[in-house]
Structure 1
Amino acid sequence: MRGLQISLNHTQNIRLQKARETLESLSSKANSDASVIVADTIPLNYEDGVLKGHGTLDLNGEVVATICGVVERVNKLIYVRALRARYKPEVGDIVVGRVTEVAPKRWRLDINYSQYAVLMLSSMNLPDGIQRRRTAVDELNMRSIFEENDVICAEVRGFQHDGLHLQARSQKYGKLERGQLLTVSPYLVKRRKQHFHHLEQYGIDLILGCNGFIWIGEHVDSTEDMMIEDQVSKAEQERVYTPLNTRQNICRTANAIRVLSSLGFIMTVEVIMETVSLSISQNVDVHEMLGSEFFVLTAEKEVERRRHTSSKKRG
Structure 2
Amino acid sequence: MSLLIRNLINLDREQSFSEQSLLMAGQKLKQALLPILGLLGFLLMWSIAANNVTTSLGKFPGPGAVITQFDNLYQEHVSERDKELAFYERQHKRNADRIAKDPNYVPKVRAYTGKETFLDQILTSLKTVLSGFILAAIIAIPLGIAIGLSHTLNQAINPIIQVFKPVSPLAWLPLVTMLVSALYVSDDPFFSKSFVNSLITVTLCCVWPMVINTSVGVASINQDWVNVSQVLRLPALTHVRKIVLPASIPAIFTGMRMSLGIAWMVLIAAEMLAQNPGLGKFVWDEFQNGSSQSLSRIMAAVIVIGLIGFLLDRAMLQLQRWLSWDKASAKR
Q: Report the TM-score when normalising by structure 2.
A: 0.23
Q: Per chain length, whose mean CA-contact separation is higher, i.e. which structure has more relative contact order (CA < 8 Å, sep 6+)?
A: 2
Greater gyration radius:
2
TM-score, normalization by structure 1: 0.24
- Which structure has more helix as a fraction of its residues? 2
